[in-house]
Amino acid sequence: MAKLSSFILIGVSIGLAIRFRDNNLYVMLLLMGILAIVFFIDKFLSLKDIKQTSYTQTSLVSSISKFKTYMVNRKKYEMYFMGFWMLTLIPSASLYFDSSVSGILSMLAYITFVGIFGYLSYRKTEKEIASLESTMEYELQLQ
């Protein structure tokens, strides 16, 4: 879902860049936002080192540990990248809405929306990981 959402953000930026292609400053800002999202996808949304099918208890524990580290890093930096993307969007959004106040308010509403649902999503994931870890600890004690 996070990758899909990030690609939608890139699509929004590309759409606005096409719409305001006559204004080089706005296009450059939007391209900077696109680059930030692409970097975020590559650096923080990639599950390169995590095996999604573990065959042994040890490899499963290792994968869960790596996933926890992945989630901590992603949670730590996600709002910074999304905030930067939003800042690059404000000038073109204010033109799109014909008002800088409307553009800024819409960006703040979006940040609030993403922040709340992101927080709830991270909490749910952390609970699921904790539940999985306690189940694994219980199974290890039984062996």
Contact present, 85 and 9 (Cβ < 8 Å): yes
Q: Which two tokens stand for residue 84?
A: 């930067």
**Cα(8)–Cα(37) distance, rounded to whole angstroms?**
10
What SS3 class is residue 106?
A: helix
Chain segment 122-139, per-residue pLDDT in tens? 888 888 888 877 877 776
pLDDT tens, per residue, the chain with 143 residues = 778 888 888 998 899 899 889 999 999 999 999 999 999 988 887 777 666 666 677 777 777 777 888 888 888 888 888 889 888 888 887 777 776 677 677 777 877 787 787 788 888 888 888 887 787 777 666 66
What SS3 class is residue 97?
A: coil
Q: Which residues contact 76 (CB under 8 A, 6 or more apart)?
A: none
Q: What pTM does this model have?
A: 0.72
What SS3 class is residue 143?
A: coil
Residue of 97, 89, 67, 81 whose CA lies nearest to 13: 89
So what's the pLDDT on residue 109?
A: 81
So what's the pLDDT on residue 140?
A: 65
So what's the pLDDT on residue 28?
A: 94
So what's the pLDDT on residue 80?
A: 87
